[in-house]
Chains A and B, each alone.
Chain A
Amino acid sequence: MKLSQKMKVNCIASLLLTGVSASASAVDLEFYFPVAVGGAAADTIQALTDEYVAANDGVNIDAVYAGSYGDTVTKALTASRGGKPPQLSVILSVDMFTLIDEEVIMPFDSLVKTDDDKAWLESFYPAFMENSQTGGKTYGIPFQRSTPVLYWNKEAFAEAGLDPDTPPATWEETIEMGKKLVKKDADGNVSRWGVRIPSSGFPYWLFQGLTTQNDVILANSDGNETYFDDPKVAEALQYLVDLSMKHEVMAPGIIEWGATPKAFFEGQTAMMWTSTGNLTNVRKNAPFDFGVGLLPGNKRRGAPTGGGNFFIFADSTDEQKAAAFDFVKWISQPAQSAKWTIATGYVAPRADTWETDEMKAYTADFAPALVARDQLEFAVAELSTYENQRVTGIFNDALAAAITGTKSVEEALAEAQKNAEAILKDYR
């Protein structure tokens, strides 16, 4: 009797001690995040993280602002090589293959066990998942994603005799309407162009809009093969080149991405293609009535996706992985996702977020925010392969060469395909 009493006491004592030590040994997470849009994005992330930590005893999250997307992936890789990786990070979705190649991230599949979790995984828009899955596994969870959209100057449309509420819906209409929108000044120089599709820095992104609209994709989902010299790609590129060279509805040469919203505000272009992330900027600064719509289609409607995913790093303890997973699930819940979307202009990656009261109020007040979501139906993965920077760089150079007329469309694309092949064949 005494023995069992003693045992009981021991049991309770040890249980209590374990209980105490369990909450005393909190799980520490380091979380890198980039900021690629102006505004209070960093503050919002910090606030969300603090909210989670306050509600979850036993978990500490150190949210580290890592700079741009480029900085963040560099920092994460450097830290991993130095043996001190973060536990989770938001990184450009297209860096997935690099992260896999460097063996630093792990798929979410081993963490997704319950039915609820599985339902959660299925709840993201497929367009965003395309850059997040490969080889049948899910490596990234969409967080700050975007697509490009068409903005147009309603006043300019009215002035040109076009219906201000009807943007072009096809490639042909872009040319027709563009020609009417071109305005020349007293010296005969163009003072307003019809359309502006920026091509500096990373022309491939907006160009993917054109290729998708022409029903062709640029790379496979395994990230080890590209199709740059496909005739449909050439068609799309020829269309882009012709906009300035043949139809003269767009300015010639490489068009600066950063100056595009300003050019729009200054009336230098009647239409522009740029990220939905610019919505707040345009809303604040456009001195005229403007519209936001889907990118015009050709064989079909289409657009690339963009932005960053959550990735969980492999070199962590099981508790850390579980905690990180829980945080990712929490921050993707409609309540948090709505806050993030409204603060930054990114597209909420799950359908149920759009149904929350906050989002409904926001979109009732500002309907253009829905355009990017509506475009997801037609959106495809952003160009992403192994050695992504090099391959994308090669493709960007080819596009620039064709746009400036240094090389013909066929020549530029053939060369790009050849160079990309040389790099990617090692990965098959």
Chain B
Amino acid sequence: MSTAYKSNWSFDSILNSLAMWLLAFLWALPLLYAIWTAFHPAAYETRFVWNAPLTLQNFKEAWAAAPFARYFFNTVLLVTMILVCQFILCTLAAFAFARFNFPGRGILFTLVLLQLLVMPDILIVENYKTIRALDLVDTIVAIGLPYIASGFGIFLLRQTFMSIPKELDEAARVEGTSFLGLLWKVYIPLAKPTYLAYGLVSVSHHWNNFLWPLIITNSVETRPVTVGLSIFSAIDAGLEWSVINAATLMTSGPLLIAFLLFQRQFVQSFMRAGIK
């Protein structure tokens, strides 16, 4: 199975190289700038001098200025909870769609696909009312609830499950395995790349989610890192970019590092998940 096929383009390689590097540099500029200001004192926010003194003071200030430790904890809890629930719910649903034949299957699948379009992000007003009726306002659970049944997840997994040959099914059934056993022993292991790809997308999306958590939380105990950061940077006393960028790096750091470590797997899992 060919993995890294590199095509043999016959354009002007030098021109293309330069263009690519320029775009890549422009694309990386915001992150590079954040790193620069986070590690240098405030006076160097606008001066890019080679021998400017390095400092960790900004990180200390950012950490002390808002309860980021708690925000991190909330975010990790939230993202894990969502991921686990999504895996369970979407696996069951995808299996149902892929494997069982039941009345209303087509219509229900269309309804599921509807969620790709009508995301919870859009229905903030009504979802807020629902959460309020359930008396769950300002809880971490409430941040995750609208997302755990993910149309995208069901769609992906269904596609993957449908591509698993029926012979494996029959082989297992002959041995007398139950449906759940079938799911656990055959389907899930074979769908690992899809789970990985979907997991990465889900974690990244929910770590970075802002609008819904902003609305539904209003205390330190439930706020995720994105909302914490926005409050922190919206104070009366003017922006100190060095501190804000230190906070930004702290909040996106874990995700960025994870990405840097796993970016090859990330791309490959998308390929193998067959998203075309």
Contacts and interface: CB of A to CB of B under 8 A. Distances in A.
Direct A–B contact present (CB less than 8 angstroms): yes
A71 B236 contact: no
A41 to B, nearest CB: 10
Interface in B213-236: 218-220, 223, 231, 234-236
A60 interface: no
B137 A258 contact: no
Most chain A beta-carbon contacts within 10 A, residue among B46, B138, B219, B235: B235
Interface string A249-262: 00000000111111
A75 B237 contact: no
Contacts, number: 68
A287 B138 CA distance: 44
Given A38-B237, A78-B137, A262-B238, A68 B231 contact: yes
Contact of A74 (B218, B223, B236): B218
Interface stretch (A114-122, A155-163, A273-281): A273-281
Contacts of B43: 287
Interface residues of A, number: 33
Interface in A243-301: 257-262, 266, 274-275, 277-278, 280-281, 285, 287
B236 A36 contact: yes
A261 B218 contact: no
A277 B237 contact: yes
A71 B138 CA distance: 12
Contacts of B219: 64-67, 75
A306 to B, nearest CB: 8
B275 interface: no
Contacts of A262: 45-46, 238-239, 241
Contacts of A82: 132, 135, 137
B14 to A, nearest CB: 34
Given A38-B235, A258-B238, A277-B237, A65 B65 contact: no
B236 A67 contact: no
Contacts of A261: 237-238
B231 A71 contact: yes
Nearest to A75: B218
A281 B218 contact: no
Interface string A51-71: 000000000000011111001
B239 A258 contact: yes
Nearest to A78: B137
Contacts of A266: 46
B129 to A, nearest CB: 11
The 9 closest A-B pairs by CB, nearest first: A261-B238, A75-B218, A258-B239, A36-B236, A37-B237, A67-B231, A38-B237, A277-B236, A281-B237
